[in-house]
A and B are shown apart, each in its own frame.
Chain A
Amino acid sequence: MSNSILDFILSFLKKVGFPVSGAIMNIITDYWDWDKLSGKAKSPCYNIGFFGPSRIGKTTLAASMVEEFKQFSSRINSSYLKLSALDDITMTKISGRINDLKAGIEKGTFKTGTLEGTSDHEELKLRFEEGARKSFKQDFILHDFPGGWINDPQKIEQLNLKDWDVIILPIDSVVIMESVELEHKRAARNDLCIDQVENFMRDWVKTRTNLPSLCILAPIKCETYFSTPKVSSMLADKSQLLFNKITNEYYKDVLSIIQSSSSVECLYMPVNTIGCCYLKMPTWENGKLKGVYSISFEPGMNRWHPYGPSYLMLEICMFICSQLRRLPKKAMSSSMESFIQATSEIDKAMRDPDATAPEIPYNRKKILQRGSFK
């Protein structure tokens, strides 16, 4: 396609107020490239980033999202949506993390911090495929990077944040809920790297002006603060307290930054990445919170039992679908439509109480900001 025509189209789209992301741009150019369209129907890659300090659980969250979604979607008969790793490295990383988790639980105790941290920027390359015919493929990358980079602006610069369509902010619920004394609250802010998160979000929101984006606040290690699933009979439901502390206290300014942009949708989705242990007693060492965890004694709960990560994956998929729906009609292929349809089906199935998934934590989700692109 000639550049002059392309430029004309771009400027026309801009004039009529139709912002174009990199991915959309790729689709349009592909439209002109019949070879690409007639041959392999594939949408360009989406970037999903996890942003948070060291040891917060980014890798565990990513692995849980993939593993649980795969398990779940394979049980739903009507689903034509498949999730797979694109390369061995991704597969190895995910399965390795899941095995480490299960091994730690089988030993009867669970200690935080024993899982290996991420030492470099790692990309988990994944693909959604439209079910039976596998005719539409949507690639996306989960970006996992060392938490230590959060304090290194140059490293962050290397990550090319403006291409990140979705940001997931894992939040350590234990630090939030167990910091009662004022000095602990002050330390918690440091532990969660709130300032760095704010700065990052400010930059990201700026780069994503007029570009549809999704931010998910994902509190993790929530087992102690929700009464379902029942990890221990005596745990009371403190979900509202957790929500209030995050949105009104610690991440209040982060939300303000997000709400200053009209194109960023923001969701609140607490998840359990382990699911079978709860915090028995917090201890503080040198201002840092350490936890002593107990494995659940509830029948059937003494194994790896994530709750909710698959729904984060579903939201990513639905976000991608929403972008596809924005394409001009002529750019929409039938395989894309099948893909979108398959996503709707799986969404419906995952909310269906009679579905094979035993629990539906969708009610944990709260919409904090609806983007204007919908």
Chain B
Amino acid sequence: MSSVEEQVAGQISEIIRQRKTRLPLVEGVLKRCSSLQKAMTVVRSSIEQLQQNSTENEMLTATCQQCLEVLLNHGEKITDIEQQALLARKRFSRDTVNIGFGGPKGMGKSFLLQKLSGLTNNEVPSADGLPVTAVRSVIQNSPDNCAKVVFHTPASFLQQRIWPLCRNLSINPPHTLQEFQDIKLPETQNSSDRSFQCCNKIKEYQSALPEYRDLLTGKEKTIALSELRPYVTYRLPSPNDDKVTVPNHVYVAVSTVTIYCEFPQTSVKNLKLIDLPGLGELDPSLESIHTEGFKDNVDLCLFIRRPSGNRPDWDQEAQRALDTLTRNCPAGHPSDFVILVINGGGCKTDYVTIMEKDARDKLGDRYTILTTDKSDSQGLSAEVLSRALDHLSQKLPKSDNALFLGISESLNSLSRIITDFCDEAKRTLRQYGQGEDSEELRRHAAEQALRRFARLSFKIRDSIEKRAVRQDDLTEVIDSLDRIKDETLEYFNNGMQEGSRENWLEMANDRYAQDNALNKVQTDTINQMRVQIAQRFSLELDSVYKDYITHEILEKTVAALNDAKVLNNMLNEESAEKNLKSFLSYLDNTEHPVPQMREAVEGLITLKIEHNAQFYPRAYDPIRSLKNIADVMKIEGNTLEERCENLYTNLVDMGTRTIIDIRNKIIEETRNNLFNILLVAYEKFEDSIIRNNNVNDEWIRFFKSYYNDIITSDKKANISYLLNETLKHLSALRDRASSAV
């Protein structure tokens, strides 16, 4: 290996390594695109809803429509950028550099591939002037000597082979093999007509279906190189005569072929050569395969041309073919991506010269043009492959850079556009959505509502305070307690966990016989009683307290909000809690934040009175007494049975007394304190929403946000809410777009 070759090999390795380092940046682009798409979807939905509900406001509706159209456009652009980034990711993920061999049929691509890769006709079939390569083959420089064949599935076969033909014929594409077999083809006469040729192709595939049908599995198969030919070529040598060929249709079922072999004349290990079916082939599907592969799979394309006696110059066909190739150039100038190779082997030197000169005249100096008349591996490697690799090592880094920068810059530019769009959209939506009402009107309305609400709120607080001072018996609490008491006493009188008094006595007798003492029975039973008492009291009372909160505070507060026309009776959910949550969402959606009002309302929604935390500790002494006697209680009796009976009676009596004491204590505690708790909570709410510093300003901000909905007398859709929500989502989209830059 020469030092130049070594250098090139090193550069290629470095290019591959550099590409890998770019992958996180590409992922970043994809993530930002996804984030923007999500935000735009949300904005679109908001604007659609706003548009649907503002039919009476023509300007607003029209503005919404414009916004939707712009958003659609931006969405498509983001999709384009995403697609580019996905291709870049695929490109940068590869472990090889790939050189594609393209050009019309019969230019010697396959021959060149054979010589460069060291393969033979069997693996890469080639023949003068005849189309032989039916499948896109990829040849990788590798010490393994084998081929991997990937077969089509029925669906991919139809999509890639048949549908392009159907499109040409303007007929419905089949979706199943049966439909394919039953295709009704149009009548065509002219044999040179493309339609005629497409029809013939379809008929050929139909008649040959039994030959390849069973191969349409979608699976991958590894085969020896000697067995490859049927999978890659249109025709095979006749079994009888090598010089005669017969049609072969096995290739139809093949999607891709990858050949692994050691390239004889290059030191660049991470190298793939891609053989593409000829441009301008009769089968238009092949052309789409040809160009599709370039987007992510080819780093350099060698466009092979061979001058002929008829047309040695750079003709229109050549130009068209070049255009097809360069159309999918990933980045940079097409001349970085495509090298012309004039295959002069077997041609007159004059023709080669004419073609070269004509091409240079028409294409200019930018394109690299290689000419060769070699037919051996070494010669072709030196004149074509080495120079192509050298070109790659120079151009590819720039091209990769340009690709990535192009994507990045597109995204940044689009992000700036989206940012500007958001600002403009907010301005115009606000202008047409909020009307021309003056600042002063809103301030006045807010202050009036605050005063009304303050008056009504005073009555609520006063009512709670009076009950707190009066210390009435709380009937609902007493009823609950009596229910709990009766149930618990029934449990005690029915032998607790044993289910009946008799069972309990039997258990006690048995345990005494076992332990020679009743201490354990005593302790266990007391523990059972204690646990039952604790659990039963806790379970029911929390919901009773919650009802007090609902009736005394939540319902009255909602009524006050409605009566004070804070939201023009828009709080009309089925429960007070839902209404307050609805009010909270209004507070969340104001254009400028109202934190004190929000905190006040949230405090009410989350208000809880928990029996275990607030009242049970104060009524705990009877339980403590019950626990304390477990070890000290002494029971007498003349016989074991008598002792057990006395123990049971005493335990039940004590349990009864305990329940009565707890019940009485809770009645007193709730009577003395429940309404104090409610009062303190409500006062806190009032202080935050009415008396706190700067809360006046918050009311004004709230009214500014919802003015239209609050002030207008006839019921209509909640435009202000929807508008505020849309403005909020536009702000979020703007934030994402500006952070993406």
Contacts and interface: CB of A to CB of B under 8 A. Distances in A.
B473 A233 contact: no
Nearest to A279: B657
Contact of A294 (B633, B653, B658): B653
A232 B621 CA distance: 16
B169 interface: no
B625 A234 contact: yes
Nearest to B654: A234
**Residue in B473, B626, B657, B667 with the greatest tally of chain A CB atoms within 10 Å:** B657
A280 B621 contact: no
Contacts of B626: 234
A181 interface: yes
A33 interface: no
A298 B633 CA distance: 8
B707 to A, nearest CB: 50
Contact of B478 (A181, A224, A233): A181
A31 to B, nearest CB: 59
B657 A180 contact: no
A236 B634 contact: no
A298 B634 contact: yes
A233 B667 contact: no
A280 B658 contact: no
Contacts of A224: 657
Contacts of B650: 232, 294, 297
A299 B636 contact: yes
Interface in A79-104: none
Interface in A207-232: 224, 232
Nearest to A294: B653
B654 A232 contact: yes
Given A236-B621, A297-B650, A178 B632 contact: no
Chain B interface helix/strand/loop/mixed: helix
A116 interface: no
B657 A278 contact: yes
Given A183-B473, A234-B625, A280-B656, A297 B632 contact: no
Contacts of B653: 232, 280, 294
Contacts of B625: 234-236
Given A180-B664, A180-B668, A181-B667, A233 B656 contact: no
Contacts of B473: 181-183
B350 interface: no
Nearest to A183: B473
A297 B646 contact: yes
Chain B's interface size range is 20 to 34
Contacts of A299: 634, 636
Contacts of B632: 233
A280 B473 CA distance: 23
A294 B653 CA distance: 7
A347 to B, nearest CB: 34
Contact of B657 (A183, A280, A297, A298): A280
A331 B338 CA distance: 148
Contacts of A181: 473, 478, 667
A228 to B, nearest CB: 14
Contacts of A236: 621-622, 625
A219 B209 CA distance: 112
Contacts of B649: 294, 297
B660 interface: yes
B660 A281 contact: yes
Given A178-B664, A181-B478, A294-B653, A234 B658 contact: yes
Contacts of B664: 178, 180
Contacts of A353: none
Interface in A140-193: 178, 180-183
Interface string B631-655: 0111110000000001001100110
B317 interface: no
Interface in B596-650: 621-622, 625-626, 628-629, 632-636, 646, 649-650
B265 to A, nearest CB: 103
Contacts of B621: 236
A183 B473 CA distance: 9
B660 A282 contact: yes
Contacts of A178: 660, 664
A281 B472 contact: no
Interface in A84-129: none
A12 to B, nearest CB: 58
Nearest to B624: A236
B675 to A, nearest CB: 14
Contacts of A180: 664, 667-668
Nearest to A227: B625
Contacts of A282: 660
Contacts of B668: 180
Contacts of A281: 656-657, 660
Nearest to B646: A297
Given A181-B473, A236-B621, A236-B622, A297 B635 contact: yes
A278 B657 CA distance: 10
Contacts of A233: 628-629, 632-633
A188 to B, nearest CB: 13
A67 B395 CA distance: 125
Interface of A: 178, 180-183, 224, 232-236, 278-282, 294, 297-299
10 contacts: A232-B653, A232-B654, A234-B629, A235-B657, A236-B621, A236-B625, A279-B657, A294-B649, A297-B633, A298-B634
Given A224-B657, A233-B628, A297-B635, 6 more contacts: A178-B660, A180-B668, A234-B658, A236-B625, A281-B657, A299-B634
Minimum-distance CB pairs A-B, first 6: A233-B629, A180-B664, A294-B653, A297-B650, A234-B654, A234-B625
